[in-house]
Structure 1
């Protein structure tokens, strides 16, 4: 009845052959297994809720997560070589409807993300330092999404607001041009758009009545300040 398996920091572990019998497994920590080249078969681990693969720097491809219907937290941060041939890919998460937190920070070769449509319970998505990412995945069904981190997504050239967002980090998205429309993101409490030098206009800020923090520092092309007269909750404003 093993529920938790921690193999973190097993830096010489390059393969795990068989976990098929661990049907009650809820937590699997393989973080900092820096020589691990592929995942074990997790097909029978339908109770798995948390999977940590952070710093598994030799993982080129991740398969076999389709059956993880109970998965709530998936950490793939610093999986810097996550790719297959020339197409950088993610595992199929279409059945992971319980997934609440997905961390892809520092996946520097990831240029496209597909298959997130079914993540209806997603609350936190971290894509910071995904420097090759050119466009966001389809998050139209992620109506529970509260936190989105896009810090230093250098090739991301457009963004559309999401209704449920409360925290949005967009600093150093240097390819963002022209206007940014946040008129749908009326729940926003924290907004950071610092160091977006090509951004000329931000639309919809006048409707952000719950906004507490706004950082527009070093947005050198910004032509006019937004109307903040309705932002009665605003506590912190950074324009420098």
Structure 2
């Protein structure tokens, strides 16, 4: 296989759970370092890398809402948790010599730059990894939607959705249904019509409307991020209508 990247600019979407490892909660330094090493691998291929990280390892706004908390307050707490994950990832990347910037949708100048689209693009052009934190800055929107929105804004060629519990898109939950079939390719329209839990419907619609392809793959196998960037067919490709 060629060592030439298929994509020039990508958004890597990491779930918060991916940072927690087997413990399922908090931040596992070994996991963060492993992910950082994989990001460095693709940055070394001159790929411009932006990262959107979730917060499920620390806090979920939806869970807070279900406990009776005001939904907007619960979601803002989730956004702040993504900043903690972003700073941990930044620290790990910079320990490997990778220039990194965290941009937050909620202004907190002491720890991160405010999100400014043109500045983010300039960082990417200078081969810095940009980590988008604090979601969209608005409650009721997921970090999946953040990834779709930022991908459209910075004109990323693809969203790489790294999962820690599944290796692609299935017709049903493979842990529950033994007859579940894995798709190699599927359209956003089919994802929406079949109610497949790939991204929430807002994120899927945004990707579909802006023709942004999505690759869903497992991050538990080390080296998979590079394999996807080099064009190896792993996981599931979601695109078009």
- TM-score greater than 0.5 by the shorter chain: no
| TM-score (norm. length: structure 2) | 0.23
Structure with the bigger RCO (C-alpha within 8 Å, sep 6+) is: 2
Which has a greater percent of helix?
Answer: 2
Please tell me whether Structure 1 or Structure 2 has the larger radius of gyration of its CA atoms: 1
- TM-score normalised by the chain length of structure 1: 0.23
